[in-house]
Structure 1
Amino acid sequence: MNDHLALPTLHPIQGAARCAIAALVLAGAAWAVRAVWQIQLAAAGQPPSGPPDQGDGLHRTLTALEDVYHVVSSLGDAATVLCAVVFLAWLWRVRGNARILSGQRPRYAEPWVYAGWIVPIANLWIPRGIVVDIHRASAPGERMPRAVNWWWGLWLVGALSGTGLMYTGTTDAVIARAYTDVSPLLLADAAVVGAAVAGVFVVRALTAVQQNHMHELLRRGAGSSVLGPSGPARAIPSSQAR
């Protein structure tokens, strides 16, 4: 009988964390630029010809400022999608590592890593719950970073404000709102930018505690470490694995 039973591989996370941080910074910057253009629209005022969408399927020719805002909005949407993909890739890795490090099944099943963001009602708490579980498994007994609550609170404001991340209206409708009442738009933008900044601290904190946990296990000799193409793997006595 083998003396050791190899556990699933612990994935390296520093590269994924750096990518997630860069994507968060990019998304935050994109939403900040969007806010700047909304302020410019509000300052310029609505043209005498009215909003871009004239109703009944009629649209007037866009002004130069409105045209640029369409480009800014599209680039911001692309940055947001990229950020979501990269952030979830990092989250998947640290969640997998947390399960191996703790030896316990996560509270939420794997599909919730993705579905938790889009299922109504459940998306109010499940993504934060996944992050909390990862931290507890990676740093048992340590206090939850305050950045987690800031990140999640700002995310909810930015996502559910009616003019932020989950806004389903057209860009022309946003332009019309900028002309008539820009404040809600700027509030949503500020919340999204704040969530991106707080998200950077969340990624840094969870990555750091997980790295420390891995290094501590190796220092104690809690298991043999094999550095393979996808990262270090742990092994434990087969009697413990039972």
Structure 2
Amino acid sequence: MNEEIAQRPALPPARPTALPVTALLLLAGAAWLARAVWEIRLAVAGEPASGPPDQGDGNHRPLTSLEDAYHIVGAVGDVIVVLCAAAFLAWLWRVRDNARALSGRPPKYQGIWVYLGWIVPVVNLWVPRGLVADVHRASAPDKRLPFVVNVWWALWLIGLLSGVGLFHEGSRDGLIERAYTDVWQLLLSDAAVVGAAVAAVFVVRAVTAAQREPAAN
């Protein structure tokens, strides 16, 4: 037994990277919830008689106070999401290294995919989930992949593919216009993003715990 403990690799703790990412995930979910609240307020207030903020041909009317506040809420949310993404990647890199040390085998995906896997079209539909699943499999080969991983990824894909979620390519004024005319689609996308953020907290906890248990034995 002592010989087995001596041969077990000393792992850098994943908890110091897990704590900030879980806090930021909850903040990101709260930011998206706030955005949904403002979209409801916009829908209830109704579009001004002067029309949408983007008047076409490069012309924009002055924003109302509610529209201006939506821009601020969105900008704050964008900052939180960037910080959350950086923290999540730092955590993922740490647990990936730990999983390699625990299993004694190279990861399924090369390190560059920890970053590119989220942004390369088509590939980003499965690689990030595959990265997390591979880490869990290498860390706890005798345990099934937690179901929450699939819940997280399904909600993430809904937010990704809805066209109005985290990777919305249009302007925020365009979202304001849609809040006036089609708020339910925005709210469904927001709900998926908030749900993905909450589910990701449990993913981080599960994977971190899977590595802490072998290290504690």
TM-score, with length taken from structure 1: 0.85
Once the two structures are superposed, the pairs formed by residues 49-198 of structure 1 within 5 Å of their partners are 49-198=50-199
SS of the equivalent of 1:72 reads: helix
* Structure ranking higher in strand proportion: 1
Alpha carbons of 1:7 and 1:209: their partners in 2 closer, same or farther (altered >3 Å)?
closer
TM-aligned CA deviation for residue 17 of structure 1? 0.6
Q: Distance in 2 between matches of 1:24 and 1:205?
A: 15
Identify the residue that residue 211 of structure 1 maps to in structure 2: 212
Name stretches of at least 5 consecutive residues in structure 1 with no aligned partner: 1-5, 217-242
**Unmatched segments (≥5 aa) in structure 2:** 1-6
The list of structure 1 runs, each at least 4 consecutive aligned residues, that deviate by more than 6 angstroms after superposition, is none
Residues 210-240 of structure 1 show CA distances to partners (whole Å, capped at 9, x for unaligned) of 0001112xxxxxxxxxxxxxxxxxxxxxxxx
- Partner Cα distance (1:118, 1:197) in 2: 21
Structure 1: distance between partners of 2:111 and 2:152 = 22
| 1:54 partner SS | strand
CA contact (8 A) 2:148 2:203 kept: yes
**Greater Cα shift, 71-80 or 6-15:** 6-15
CA displacement 1:176-197 (0-9 Å, x = unmatched):
0000100111011000000000
After TM superposition, give the deviation of residue 10 of structure 1 in Å.
2.1
Separation in 2 of the partners of 1:92 and 1:7?
A: 20
CA contact (8 A) 2:159 2:166 kept: yes
Q: 2:19 maps to what in 1?
A: 18
The equivalent residue for 1:221 is none
Alpha-carbon separation, structure 2, partners of 1:128 and 1:179: 35
Q: What's the secondary structure of 1:168's corresponding residue? A: coil
| Displacement of 1:15 | 1.3
- Say whether residues 1:35 and 2:36 are aligned partners: yes
> Aligned residue pairs: how many?
211
Which residue of structure 1 aligns with residue 49 of structure 2? Answer: 48
Report if the CA contact (8 A) 2:53-2:60 is conserved.
yes
Aligned residue number for residue 233 of structure 1? none
Q: Give the C-alpha shift of residue 12 in structure 1.
A: 1.3
Q: Give, in whole Å, the separation in 1 of the partners of 2:137 and 2:189.
A: 31
Name the CA distance, whole Å, in 2 between partners of 1:8 and 1:175.
Answer: 53
> Hey, what does 1:230 align to over in structure 2?
none
Counterpart code for 1:21: T
Q: Cα RMSD between the aligned structures?
A: 1.2
SS in 2 for 1:94: helix
Larger Rg: 1
What displacement does 1:99 show? 0.2
